[in-house]
Amino acid sequence: MAKSEHNVISGNHLLGGHVVYWTADQSWSDALADALVLAPKDAADQLAVAGTTQSVAVGAEVCPVSLDGGAIRPITRRDAIKLNGPSPQVLTHVPSFAATAIAAE
Amino acid sequence: MYTYNDFDTKAVRDRVAQFRAQVARRIDGSLTEDEFKPLRLMNGLYLQLHAYMLRVAIPYGTLNSRQMRQLAMIGDRWDRGYGHFTTRQNIQFNWPKLQDVPDMLDALADVGMHAIQTSGNTIRNVTADHFAGAAADELLDPRPVAELLRQWSTDHPEFQFLPRKFKIAVTGAPNDRAVTKAHDIGLRMVERDGVTGVEVIIGGGLGRTPMIGKVVRDFLPLEDLLPYVEAIVSVYNILGRRDNKYKARIKITVHEHGIEEMRSRIETRFQEIRPDFKGVDQELLAQIRTHFEPPAWLSLDQSDFDKAYASNPVFRSWCDTNLADHRNPDYAIVTVSVKKHGAVPGDATGDQMRALADIAETFAHDELRISHVQNVILPHVPKAHLFQVWQALRDADLATANIGLVSDIIACPGMDYCALATARSIPVAQQISTRFEELKAEHDVGPLQIKISGCINACGHHHVAHIGILGLDRAGAESYQITLGGDATETAAVGQRAGPGFSADDIVPAIERLVLGYLDLRDDPSEDFLTAFRRLGPEPFQALLYPDAQTAA
């Protein structure tokens, strides 16, 4: 049962494994901004629907969020890491991450 | 080292083909996720926080240069240019795509490697002393036994659905570098009346209920090893709990039934199955031993080494910290730190892996090991080559002189990768090692093991650290609990909880107070942290961690 006032549903793309978000048109998007924001009473039903699309995404789970001037923001550290990737300092040796990691610092 | 025979090669290739078909059926929708998940886990493929993760077995941590180069190639081609060495002597790739994994497994098979049984409720990769076959204190090389167990346990039909995962470690030396007492089965070679046998330990483990293993047989003849191990796993398979995954490991079985009842059941089962072992295992073991003959030792002029040691203080410091005694006095065991200050413990780039392969091939009889401490070992380096090895390591950014010191930290992947984690581990390790490098204090502090786990499952071995750090979630915020006095060696002990947890901002200053405070508590510089803790008890260390509480009291 979702405890937060606002929630989204995240999952992992079946092929790429990357994080995707459940949208209002009952599909998945790479962008958190596209996510369907759910009241607690609706979260379980939508999670069940999202769980029927496992040809696209797996591991669906409810994530609490806040709405900051209309922008969706993850509340927990775990969801922030899930959205943004590992902490910047963890990836400074990875060529494909180095530029963004340094920029983020 | 062991080389696959035709049977091994075919078994691994067949398995890759099978998994390739399973992946194809998952992608075309013939298999549901519920059907596919156990199949991918049997092949080492997890789904983590942001991506799949492929865990590749490195049997008892042993690699040759060809295999290390292939790991580098796999990381570069299908991942993001690096791999992560783990506390089970394995390597993990953190960013594979599902459709690429069969190709990655085929590339592993090309060099005699696989990812079988790196997950699931099976017998996992058998680990061994990372100095095996090289250590001066070794009674018997444990790797042939580990290889025999690997072959026996791989796809063993009776043991594919155990109550829970099952981990075996083997050491051939009295100084336990394989953490045998924290394994489901720990095997220690011992000598009695001039005969080498095995001390068998069961029921050790970490996780949410840490236990130090208990001796179930103090001396087992080597020829009884396989049937005895089979008897243990067989008894556990029947007796182990399947109603609660948190009570399913053999440590709980031993705890609930007692070591006497376990011993009785194991001995009974052993007597039942012993006649079925008619010597084929011993023939196989003898054959396996031929793969582990020592290399042809070189006897080289060491004057260049002596000169460099005398004249180059940076090289000397590295030698004093990163070398261990070899069975051949003309050789040294080199531990390559994969823990540069501020770096991610255990992460090596493709370029670094290739450099290590080149060094091993050129200077060190083509052998490498991965340690459970997440470092790389060159087990056989002629002292005459040490200066060149050090120069090549320095060029690859791998010459940090910190083995066994504050910054040689074990850290699990934590919340930066792991879906189970409740807190970050790696950034804490990075901050601690960076801080102690700034202080230039770690050589003064001396031997000290810090181990960090990002959740109660304890993959970072924090329970058996001198200073353990456990990251938890407290009302949505990371909270780090400290344990003191743990020990991973032959004198194994579970650390004691020091007190309330620290926030992510407070944990590194707390560790700094603790470690620098120890310098004032020790009798003299020869008294290491663990010895001082055992002499003094927890109170003076708690006073260092919680000075305000002491003031308030």
ipTM for this prediction:
0.92
Nearest to B88 by CA among B133, B122, B56, B45: B56
CA–CA distance, B283 with B133 (Å, rounded to integer): 21
Task: Output the CA–CA distances (angstroms, integers) from residue B275 to B200, B222, B228, B279, B284, in the order listed.
Answer: 20, 15, 12, 10, 17
C-alpha atoms less than 13 angstroms from C-alpha of B121 in its C-beta half-sphere: 18
Q: What does the CA dihedral B402, B405, B408, B412 come to, rounded to 10 degrees?
A: 180
Distance from CA of B508 to the nearest CA of A (A): 16
Residue with tokens 């795509």: B97
What spatial distance separates the first Cα and last Cα of chain B, rounded to whole Å?
A: 60
Which residue in A12, A19, A86 is closest to B417 by CB distance? A86
Closest residue on chain A to B52 (Cα):
A17
How many other C-beta atoms can be found within 10 angstroms of the C-beta atom of residue B306? Answer: 13
> In this structure, are residues A19 and A11 in contact, taking their beta carbons and an 8 Å threshold?
yes
**B450-453 and B410-411 strand pairing:** parallel
Angle formed at CA B408 by CA B384 and CA B396, multiple of 5 degrees: 50
* Tokens at B519, concatenated: 């310098």
Calculate what percentage of chain A has a pLDDT beyond 70: 90
CA–CA distance, A43 with A45 (Å, rounded to integer): 6
**With bands split at pLDDT 50, 70 and 90, how would you rate the model's confidence at A97?**
confident
Q: Is A89 in the B-facing interface, judged by CB distances under 8 Å?
A: yes
**CB contacts, 8 Å: B423 with chain A:** 77
**CB contacts, 8 Å: B32 with chain A:** 54
> In this structure, are residues B128 and B41 in contact, taking their beta carbons and an 8 Å threshold?
no
Q: DSSP letter string over B134-154?
A: TBTT-SS-SHHHHHHHHHHHT
As to burial, measured by CB atoms within 10 angstroms (0-12 exposed, 13-18 middle, 19+ buried), residue B504 is middle
Partners of B335 in beta bridges: B377
| Contact partners, residue A78, CB within 8 Å, separation at least 6 | B49, B415, B421, B422
Supply the pLDDT for residue A105: 44
Which residue in A17, A19, A94 is closest to B98 by CB distance? A17
Rounded mean pLDDT of chain A? Answer: 90
pTM of the complete model = 0.96
Distance from CA of A40 to the nearest CA of B (A): 18
Do B410-552 and B6-110 have the same topology in CATH?
no
Q: Which of A59-63, A89-93, B385-389 has the lowest mean pLDDT?
A: A89-93
What CATH number does the domain located at B6-110 have? 3.90.480.20
* Tokens at B271, concatenated: 């007597």
CA–CA distance, B88 with B68 (Å, rounded to integer): 17
Q: Is A80 in the B-facing interface, judged by CB distances under 8 Å?
A: no
How far is residue B194 CA from its own chain's centroid? 31
Which residue in A18, A75, A95 is closest to B81 by CB distance? A95
HEC profile of A69-89 = CCEEEECCHHHHHHHHCCCHH
Which residue in A59, A81, A96 is closest to B416 by CB distance? A81
* Tokens at B150, concatenated: 């690997």
Give the E-state strand segments of B223-326 in sequence order: 323-325
* Tokens at B118, concatenated: 């790196």
Dihedral sign of CA atoms B136, B140, B144, B145 in order: negative
Task: Output the CA–CA distances (angstroms, integers) from residue B228 to B137, B221, B232, B249, B269, in the order listed.
Answer: 26, 10, 6, 19, 8
**CB contacts, 8 Å: A90 with chain B:** 344, 416, 426-427, 430
Supply the pLDDT for residue B394: 98
Q: Which of A81, A82, A100 to mutate to test the interface with B (most CBs of B within 10 A)?
A: A81
HEC profile of B156-175 = CHHHCCCCCCECEEEECCCC
Element (H, E) at B442: helix B442-445
Q: DSSP letter string over B488-504?
A: -STT-BPPEE-SS-EET
Supply the pLDDT for residue A100: 56
**B347-349 and B82-85 strand pairing:** antiparallel
Which residue in B27, B50, B342 is closest to A85 by CB distance? B50
CA–CA distance, B302 with B324 (Å, rounded to integer): 17
Q: How many helices (H) and strands (E) does chain B have?
A: 18, 21
> In this structure, are residues B393 and B359 in contact, taking their beta carbons and an 8 Å threshold?
yes
> In this structure, are residues B212 and B255 in contact, taking their beta carbons and an 8 Å threshold?
no
Task: Write out residues in chain B with pLDDT < 50, as ranges.
Answer: 553
Question: Does the distance separating the beta carbons of B415 and A77 come in below 8 Å?
Answer: yes
Nearest to B393 by CA among B436, B352, B434: B352
Distance from CA of A15 to the nearest CA of B (A): 5
Residue with tokens 């060491």: B302
Supply the pLDDT for residue B407: 98
Question: Does the distance separating the beta carbons of A75 and B424 come in below 8 Å?
Answer: no
**CB contacts, 8 Å: B424 with chain A:** 77, 81, 87
Distance from CA of A34 to the nearest CA of B (A): 18
pLDDT (average), residues A33-57: 96
Q: Report the residue count for chain A.
A: 105
Q: Is B26 in the A-facing interface, judged by CB distances under 8 Å?
A: yes
Supply the pLDDT for residue A101: 52
Question: Does the distance separating the beta carbons of B32 and A54 come in below 8 Å?
Answer: yes
Closest residue on chain A to B101 (Cα):
A15
Per-residue model confidence as pLDDT tens digits over B227-264: 999 999 999 999 999 999 999 999 999 999 999 999 99
* Tokens at B183, concatenated: 């394994």
Sheet arrangement for strand B168-171? B127-128, B168-171, B185-192, B195-202, B214-221
Give the E-state strand segments of B371-488 in sequence order: 376-382, 410-411, 450-453, 467-474, 477-484
> In this structure, are residues B298 and B382 in contact, taking their beta carbons and an 8 Å threshold?
yes
Q: Is B477 in the A-facing interface, judged by CB distances under 8 Å?
A: yes
Dihedral sign of CA atoms B9, B12, B16, B18 in order: positive
What CATH number does the domain located at B410-552 have? 3.30.413.10
Domain boundaries, chain A: 6-104
Fold of B134-291: Sulfite Reductase Hemoprotein; domain 1 (3.30.413)
Element (H, E) at B303: helix B303-311
**B214-221 and A28-29 strand pairing:** unpaired
More confident residue, A27 or A103: A27
CA–CA distance, B316 with B421 (Å, rounded to integer): 40
Task: Output the CA–CA distances (angstroms, integers) from residue B276 to B263, B264, B269, B270, B382, in the order listed.
Answer: 20, 20, 12, 10, 45
Q: Is A12 in the B-facing interface, judged by CB distances under 8 Å?
A: yes
> In this structure, are residues B59 and B90 in contact, taking their beta carbons and an 8 Å threshold?
no
Nearest to B356 by CA among B375, B383, B376: B376
How many other C-beta atoms can be found within 10 angstroms of the C-beta atom of residue B372? Answer: 23
Question: Does the distance separating the beta carbons of B51 and A16 come in below 8 Å?
Answer: yes
**CB contacts, 8 Å: A18 with chain B:** 50-51
Supply the pLDDT for residue B35: 97
Q: Is B415 in the A-facing interface, judged by CB distances under 8 Å?
A: yes
Residue with tokens 């948190």: B246
What CATH number does the domain located at B308-395 have? 3.90.480.20
Closest residue on chain A to B78 (Cα):
A16
Supply the pLDDT for residue A98: 60
Amino acid at B359: I
Distance from CA of B421 to the nearest CA of A (A): 9
Domain boundaries, chain B: 6-110, 134-291, 308-395, 410-552
Distance from CA of B422 to the nearest CA of A (A): 8
